[in-house]
Structure 1
């Protein structure tokens, strides 16, 4: 029986993962606290007086600022505290909702990222809206077998974390997930529905362990399969708690 083997969220867009053993899902919502905050990279389209989803190019992100992969992050959901350890060992902790705590963190980021910082940094937050690559409140799912198939074809070790998915499922056939568009799946009785394939960008080329671009994954996907997709977006259809090791089932008809 296929099982859920990882639950991951990224509280601040572009920064490191927060790994969970279980999580409560709510219909019509993303994973709680996933991409709940982002850091505006210089003046952009984000208006704090009228907060709304804006395109990812306005924020710090791995595709443009590979140095972010050097940072080890810790998130405390209760207090919305975000602790970041920099390469030299210094750890800076901020409260995400308190702008007065952000200045030392931003100064250290500017030193680390150098010319990749385009202007004044500012934390963006939209209540009830995840600052993901899409405006829809979806969860991303990765099939571990698909990643292994890509590894075998390219000859490169590929950590599924490169794809920054929320859920990792193992025990399936490679690329089976592409057949779930329009179909319902169940994780321990919690129902989700496949919505769309995820087209991959340059962020996946960054090795999360070394922060270096060591393989052009969008190009590799295109060369091997004729597309640059890996993983799918899913909507949460029913409320419930899911946990590592939960069984995964797919039912119903859909479109590929």
Structure 2
């Protein structure tokens, strides 16, 4: 199997950034992945004691489909975030300043309208990942599994609906489920596969239109008896991964 594409999502719920290569670090996510989030005004997230919370406490596609139309780009060197929100001029704000974070929160709050609850905050908590799971993980999808879902549903599905970090080609559908509890070699890095990714209504949202025009969780259950697509893996040995690199499942030791 080989890596076809690599993505990170600096702001939870906002657009993907494609990468040609990236260095993975043990026990960490992809650099900058889910680094920021828009916490709803009623979210109990505490910057002084950051802890994992379910996605409903933040701006997310499961609840806020219109976020699919917000295009974002993050510059890790300067801390600048560019937002292109439909109907408004591009916003460039610095995530390292209180003023910049407030401007980002205000712009997204106006765009969400009635979907914004209270006074949302644009947040970063150093060392914390606003991931859908508590572990710091890398998400991987086998494109053969996605093709099987497309064939069963009769609909072409943009892979970005599923917001994975790494998409790999080759292998048979659902082969990645066989890796649970095992180690894999991904480029120069070694990872341990932890569990399947259970799909939620976020995948119903078309990333190009912001419309809910598909039912992947239901189709998975109807055709395959589960609602899973892809796996989560933790980095246990760091190294660079590049588009075109191989993914190999490793034999259990001993």
Name the TM-score class by shorter chain.
over 0.9
- Report the equivalent of 2:159: 160
Q: Which runs of 5+ in 2 are unaligned?
A: none
Residue 141 of structure 1 corresponds to: 140
2:102–2:121 CA contact under 8 A, matched in 1:
no
Deviations 1:36-78 (A, max 9, x none): 1111111221112222222221110011111100111111111
Residue number in structure 2 paired with 1:12: 11
1:108 shift after superposition: 2.8
TM-score by structure 2 length?
0.95
Does the Cα contact within 8 Å between 2:138 and 2:233 map onto a contact in 1? Answer: yes
Q: How does 1:59-98 map to 2 (within 5 A)?
A: 59-88=58-87, 90-98=89-97
Preserved contact between residue 7 and residue 21 of structure 1 (Cα < 8 Å): yes
Give the Cα separation in 1 of the matches to 2:113 and 2:88: 19
Give the 3 Å change call, closer, same or farther, for CA 202–29 of structure 1 in structure 2. same
TM-aligned CA deviation for residue 184 of structure 1: 1.1
TM norm structure 1: 0.95
Query: 2: distance between equivalents of 1:75 and 1:227?
Result: 35
Q: 2:150 — aligned with what?
A: 151
Structure 1 ranges of 4+ moved more than 6 A = none
Q: Which runs of 5+ in 1 are unaligned?
A: none
Checking the alignment, whether the CA contact within 8 Å between 1:13 and 1:131 is kept in structure 2 is: yes
Q: CA contact under 8 A between 1:182 and 1:253: conserved in structure 2?
A: no
Instruction: State the Cα RMSD in Å.
Output: 1.4
Specify the alignment match of 2:45 in structure 1.
46
Count of residue pairs the alignment pairs up: 253
